[in-house]
Structure 1
Amino acid sequence: MDTTYLVEISGLILGAMLLLLGGGVWIGVTLLICGFIAMQFAPAGIQIGAAMATNAWSGSASWSLAALPLFIWMGEILYRTRLSDEMFRGLSPWLNWLPGRLIHVNVLGCGLFGAVSGSSAATTAMVAKITLPELRKRGYDETISLGSLAGAGTLGFLVPPSIPMIVYAVAANVSIIQMFMAGLVPAVIVMALYMGAIIVWSLMNPDKSPARAPKTSFANKLRETLNLIPLALLILTVFSALMLGWATATECAAWGVLGALVIAAWQKALTWKSFVESVMGATRMTAMVMLILTGAGYMSIAMGYTGIPNALAAWVDSFHLSPYALIAVLTLMYVLLGCAIDGLSMIVLTTVVVLPMIQQAGFDLIWFGIFLVLMVEMAQITPPVGFNLFVLQTMSGRDSLTVARAALPFFFLLLATVAILTIFPDIVMFLPKMAFPG
């Protein structure tokens, strides 16, 4: 078909999608409807119903996706333990010497819990339920407390295991383990930038930081740090097996669930009620993700039959954008999308169209996956639909715009991370290439 004609069809499908989303139709159902519309422009002889049934089965029967409900369940179990309380007690004694002091617990705590959660909203809620009351009680500035929590909560997507990483890996047909490895160094960079920003803010606003807490003995610090041992052992066991190739991502997720159940039982937080609640929470989240993936898969097949992704890629290529200019355009596009839809939907909605462009520009798909996860992180703190903003609005009693203003500096730090990783892509690819040479 003519490229211009296909671009016009894609505009029609996009318009239908915006109309459906604006009308409150579920993302998964919207994708199925748009896939059906796209099928009307496919070559004759293709059976629409058979294509949908085949795609729904092949997509949901993927062994790689088996890790998804298990990692979600692991996070749901740990969410119902005393982990966040013990994490605060274990980290806080070591941070009194840093400018900003206990605000750094938000960043380190979200980094640690993100390693067993896979969810940004769950990470934010888990850490906030302990640190917000404690920081408020000790006189810390609420703006920096809320902003650092909103920003650091997004680490639940960048620190493996990450639900968006698994979804992207399946959609782009790349290795989940390599995606997990690629996210480690960028996660450390983001945490370093956040903590650096807190230090600078504290030095510039000394009147907004409470007096330093009394010094405690080294033995007492070690005693409090023992609270972190269960979490540290779980993270170390799961990810050592994953990174050393002893187990697949799905097997590691299963061991992670077992470890989470052991921790919950050891803390006497594992009751029949909490067990059922964790199963139902994981089931709801998994069902939502699988519906979105089914709709996205059907739309991808429909778009592939029409040739729209290649036509759009050729259309963008006709502008002769440099690789950096392409990334700048995509960054702007994803920031705008983040104002309208959630991060997970951004991934499944755009990969079918964007991946041909990315490959044509010479970017590695693993690198682009990390770029996309950072875009999803920005969406988490972008009004009006940023989930982290809703979580902190509920937990702090402030409106979402107040939380969004507090999170704005951390939004720009994520943009700075994108710039760093674009200029120095080997930062992302170092660990995957080291583990999988060639």
Structure 2
Amino acid sequence: MIADPLVLTVVLLFVMFALLLSSIWIGVSLMLTGIFGMLIFQNHLPPSISIFDKIGDLLSSSLYDSLNSWSLAALPMFILMGELLYKSSISSKLFNGLIPWLDKVPGRLLHINVAACSLFAAVSGSSAATTATVGKITLGELKKRGYSKMLAIGSLAGSGTLGFLIPPSLIMIIYGVLSNVSIGQLFIAGIFPGLLLASAYALYIMIAASFDKKAIPLQTEKVTWQDKMNSIKDLLPIMLLITLVLGSIYAGFATPTEAAALGVLGSLLLGLYFKSLDFEVIKIALLNSIKTTVMISFIIAGAGFLSQVVGFLGIATALSEYIASLHLSPYMLIFVVGIMYVILGMMLDGISMVVMTLPIVLPIVKMAGFDPLWFGIFLVFMVELSQITPPVGFSLFVIQSISGEKIGYILKATFPFFVIMILVVVLVTAFPEIAFYLPRRMIQ
């Protein structure tokens, strides 16, 4: 271990952020940061050992170890499933199918974003795909029908982040691979927190619509039970796909990777059923999936190398011992970690946040007594917050491109849902059984 690992940590963080701000690829930035750390360590090696040989050994082993994972095979499959659904007419089918069932609910169609995002998140796993797909159809429809633009945009921004929390989730897959936590258990643990967050959004919409009578238009159409029954034909295929993907995991018939393959097959069948699938759609979906998978894999590989360097230099152990010496209570520690992630969310995207911080943060929270499974759900919440925090809130950019509104207006509309998410995080932290209940019941 080097003399002062805490100072080295600050230096490495400074180098990493400097590289990121220089617009170098994230994967390359992580690798260069690790190489820089090893070069600092050069004076601590015996003269007979070349630092470049040591760097080569660590780099080659970490690249292989970080990507040689069967669980990681689920990643490109879920991405492909989301791309295929994005190109199909599933968003319009969801909208048309949900309209009759929300007729008597306070706020009526303002709930469409929460309901549609929750359903799409359960088959996509991507926050960006969820926000873009649902937003393209709902914002225009809600505006045309006279609903509050601010509530429509805010609910889309908040609900769109459910793509990371409601399984299957790309962030959960990445976290599971990096932390050696069961991806299936993470998927199960995310159900109740995801439903709790969606319910909190719906409750806020009800309250806001009750106080602001201009938020919803005067009702001119009467929905009959026949309309509701007719809408089932639009919702049933989508519900079957959700059952196929999640049910196969929870029933123990398939691993997350196998379920992802079933999801791709199901999305292809849905495209054929809706008559929106052709060769061009498949080609674009495959190309986009390859690009996204390679980008994420490159980041994971860079993070794997940096993780090995952090362990080689003794940084994680030193930081854990330092924080332990502060005698912070476990909840104070989580509060500090949460503040750190909110700040990082203003500068980094969610995947980068996970892969760059996990090698240091996970040993600390484990030492404080927190279960890695629960921390995975907590971390997903932090990633969701990063999606709607400026200036690198990706969901904000997606909504801006869809709505044409200025970013300031979108931030104002999103703020109540940002606060609601923080309150739900506090609840899940105070009552961790919200995340543990289903996994423990499934084990029994």
Letter in 2 for 1:141: S
Q: Which residue of the other structure, out of 402, 422, 436, is the alignment partner of 1:395?
A: 402
Q: Deviations over 1:214-250 (max 9, x none)?
A: 2122012110122011110011011111001111111
Which residue pairs with 2:93 in the alignment? 86
Q: Is the 8 A contact 1:166 1:176 kept in 2?
A: yes
Q: Is the 8 A contact 1:87 1:227 kept in 2?
A: yes
Task: Look up the SS of the partner of 1:410 in the other structure.
Answer: helix
Task: Look up the SS of the partner of 1:384 in the other structure.
Answer: coil
Q: Is the 8 A contact 1:96 1:213 kept in 2?
A: no
Letter in 1 for 2:308: I
Q: Within the alignment, does 1:257 sit opposite 2:264 as a pair?
A: yes
Q: Within the alignment, does 1:19 sit opposite 2:18 as a pair?
A: yes
TM alignment of 1:285-434, pairs within 5 A: 285-434=292-441
TM alignment of 1:48-197, pairs within 5 A: 48-197=55-204
Q: Deviations over 1:104-147 (max 9, x none)?
A: 01001000000111110110000011101100001111111000
Matched residues, percent identical?
Answer: 45
The separation in 2 between residues aligned to 1:213 and 1:116, in whole angstroms, is 34
1:27, distance to aligned residue in structure 2 (A): 1.2
Which residue pairs with 1:30 in the alignment? 29
1:160, distance to aligned residue in structure 2 (A): 0.5
The separation in 1 between residues aligned to 2:219 and 2:312, in whole angstroms, is 64
Structure 2: state its 5+ residue gaps: none
Structure 1: state its 5+ residue gaps: none
1:2, distance to aligned residue in structure 2 (A): 5.8
Q: 1:22 and 1:323, CA in 2 relative to 1: closer, same or farther beyond 3 A?
A: same
1:58, distance to aligned residue in structure 2 (A): 2.1
Letter in 2 for 1:347: V
The separation in 1 between residues aligned to 2:222 and 2:202, in whole angstroms, is 22
Task: Look up the SS of the partner of 2:120 in the other structure.
Answer: helix
Q: Deviations over 1:67-105 (max 9, x none)?
A: 000000000001011100010010011112111110101
The separation in 2 between residues aligned to 1:82 and 1:315, in whole angstroms, is 54
1:338, distance to aligned residue in structure 2 (A): 0.2
Letter in 2 for 1:8: V
Q: Within the alignment, does 1:279 sit opposite 2:278 as a pair?
A: no
Letter in 1 for 2:26: I
Letter in 1 for 2:180: N
The separation in 1 between residues aligned to 2:78 and 2:157, in whole angstroms, is 22
The separation in 1 between residues aligned to 2:364 and 2:166, in whole angstroms, is 27
Q: Is the 8 A contact 2:121 2:127 kept in 1?
A: yes
Which residue pairs with 1:7 in the alignment? 6
Q: Is the 8 A contact 1:367 1:428 kept in 2?
A: yes
Q: Deviations over 1:376-414 (max 9, x none)?
A: 000000011101100000000012222111111111111
The separation in 2 between residues aligned to 1:23 and 1:426, in whole angstroms, is 43
TM-score normalised by structure 1 residue count: 0.98
1:213, distance to aligned residue in structure 2 (A): 4.0
The separation in 2 between residues aligned to 1:83 and 1:138, in whole angstroms, is 21
TM-score normalised by structure 2 residue count: 0.96
Q: Is the 8 A contact 2:2 2:314 kept in 1?
A: no
Structure 1 vs Structure 2 CA RMSD: 1.1
1:207, distance to aligned residue in structure 2 (A): 2.3
The separation in 1 between residues aligned to 2:440 and 2:339, in whole angstroms, is 29
The separation in 2 between residues aligned to 1:183 and 1:410, in whole angstroms, is 19
